[in-house]
Amino acid sequence: MGILGGGQLGRFFTIAAQKMGYSVVVFDPDKKSPAGKIADKHICRPYDDKEALDELKKICDLVTTEFENIPAKTLRYLEKDIIVRPEAQAVSIAQNRIKEKRFLKKSGIPIGRYAVIDNFESIKLFNDEIDIFPAILKTAQFGYDGKGQMHVNNVTELERAFIRFNNAPCILEEKLDLDLEFSIVMARSINGDYLEYPLIENQHEAGILDLSIIPARVSSILHKEATKFAKKIASDLNYIGVMAVEFFISNNNLYVNEIAPRPHNSGHFSIDACANNQFDQQVLTLVGSKPKDEEIKFPVSVMLNLLGDLWFRRGEKKSEPNFEMIKSSEISLHLYGKSEPRIGRKMGHITILGLEKQSIEDVIRKAESIRKTIWEN
């Protein structure tokens, strides 16, 4: 099987696929890609290199992606001759915020107020009194981990931000007052079999996922509603594979934030807490099998992301954090094999599994104390 994109998600996919006996070809232009290092083969070429894509077609029977910014054109080119899951059509919607919003609206999914900003004329329609401000301007494409986003409070700031993004097509979103953020990670087979992991509560720092809490502290009414929306999105997209839907709760109302057409950082708890993790499901749905029942071994868990910032905690000088104290069996450390730590770069994560009788709050406290210890060591 082939995978387009060789980041941390591709690396976990490769591990899952190899465990089931498959060989994996990673296609990623980065020589040092974390997944490329462990794959059976790494094709290190740009995503629009036809000759390299032809080679991928020759070696592989099936291809998937780990990264929504793979050009849809590339997926369409592969689709002509081999199986690509999820299909180009679904990825092309999820990778473009304008198409994504239109799709969600058409499917009857609740979303926050937004406007398309694709030229200066569209900005003229706004004035500071229109109550979309404060708002967030997001580039329609290529954003991730809060990149390609600027908070704007009035028309002047909106104009400045649009110029900063080189007049690229954008979405202007009303900034919602968030009670809580959560995600649904689900898998759907070619026959429409649907599997959903427990809701995942997500806390972000500066637009980057910091902490995930499982199960999310969300009422059963909103849980049911969210599941209904996730199912509807997956079926309207004709989705085959693993997908994450990010939700906001604001003033007790549910909104869909965005769709990720791939496994999701927030689903990493499944590696340690479930019999079958989100990458196992990606492999299974890719080969046309049903997703396997998620069988949760640890009903309560917390995931702590490890960003490159941790490598620079003593100022400018880079130093490897000390993970020595992570010795207990209910704490699991994952490092992604990224050679260059950078501020804001996801380098790894830690999963803290809740033991019997431990409440969510106990596990969160433990996570916070682990974080403190790592930062101080």
What is the binding site for ligand ADP (CB under 6 A)? 112, 136, 143-146, 173, 175-176, 178, 181, 204, 207, 246, 257-258
39-62: buried (b, 16+ CB within 10 Å) or exposed (e) per residue?
bebbbbbebebeebbebbbeebeb
Q: Which is nearer to ligand ADP, 114 or 298 (CB)?
A: 114
Interacting partner of 136 out of Mg ion, ligand ADP, none (Cβ under 5 to 8 A depending on kind): ligand ADP
Question: CB of 47: closest distance to ligand ADP in angstroms?
Answer: 19
Place of tokens 């036809």: 50
Question: CB of 175: closest distance to ligand ADP in angstroms?
Answer: 4
Interacting partner of 207 out of ligand ADP, Mg ion, none (Cβ under 5 to 8 A depending on kind): ligand ADP
Interacting partner of 145 out of Mg ion, ligand ADP, none (Cβ under 5 to 8 A depending on kind): ligand ADP
Interacting partner of 144 out of Mg ion, ligand ADP, none (Cβ under 5 to 8 A depending on kind): ligand ADP
* Positive or negative: CA dihedral 57, 69, 165, 147: negative
Question: CB of 254: closest distance to ligand ADP in angstroms?
Answer: 14
Residue 175 DSSP label: P
Among positions 213-272, residues that touch Mg ion (CB under 5 A) are 246
Question: CB of 126: closest distance to ligand ADP in angstroms?
Answer: 16
Q: Which is nearer to ligand ADP, 193 or 205 (CB)?
A: 205
Instruction: Please tell me the distance from the alpha carbon of residue 313 to that of residue 375, in angstroms, as a whole number.
Output: 7
Nearest to 162 by CA among 180, 128, 184, 139: 139
Q: What residue is closest to Mg ion based on CB? A: 246
Q: Which is nearer to ligand ADP, 120 or 144 (CB)?
A: 144
Q: Which is nearer to Mg ion, 196 or 246 (CB)?
A: 246
Question: CB of 278: closest distance to ligand ADP in angstroms?
Answer: 17
Give the number of residues in contact with Mg ion, rule: CB under 5 A: 1
Interacting partner of 142 out of Mg ion, ligand ADP, none (Cβ under 5 to 8 A depending on kind): none
Q: Which is nearer to ligand ADP, 257 or 301 (CB)?
A: 257
Question: CB of 377: closest distance to ligand ADP in angstroms?
Answer: 29
Instruction: Please tell me the distance from the alpha carbon of residue 129 to that of residue 125, in angstroms, as a whole number.
Output: 11
Q: Which is nearer to ligand ADP, 220 or 252 (CB)?
A: 252
Q: Tokens in use for 323?
A: 């993970």
Name the 3-class secondary structure at 311: helix
Name the percent of the chain in helix, strand, coil, to the closest 5.
30, 25, 40
Question: CB of 226: closest distance to ligand ADP in angstroms?
Answer: 15
Rg (CA), the chain: 21
Neighbour count for residue 182 (Cβ, 10 Å): 27
CA 225 to the chain's CA centroid: 21
Strands 2-4 and 25-27 turn out to be parallel
β-sheet bridge partners, residue 254 = 249
Q: Which is nearer to ligand ADP, 145 or 368 (CB)?
A: 145
Q: Which is nearer to ligand ADP, 74 or 149 (CB)?
A: 149
Interacting partner of 236 out of Mg ion, ligand ADP, none (Cβ under 5 to 8 A depending on kind): none
CA dihedral 248, 240, 18, 275 (to 10 degrees): 50
Strands of 176-252, DSSP E: 180-188, 194-196, 200-205, 208-214, 241-250
Spell out, one character per residue from 140 to 179, where the chain touches Mg ion: x when CB under 5 A holds, - when not.
----------------------------------------
Q: Which is nearer to Mg ion, 66 or 280 (CB)?
A: 66
Question: CB of 207: closest distance to Mg ion in angstroms?
Answer: 8
CA triplet 18, 290, 16: central angle to 5 degrees? 15
Interacting partner of 173 out of Mg ion, ligand ADP, none (Cβ under 5 to 8 A depending on kind): ligand ADP
Burial class (CB within 10 angstroms; exposed 0-12, middle 13-18, buried 19+) of 9: buried
Question: CB of 32: closest distance to ligand ADP in angstroms?
Answer: 23
Residue numbers at the binding site for Mg ion (CB under 5 A): 246
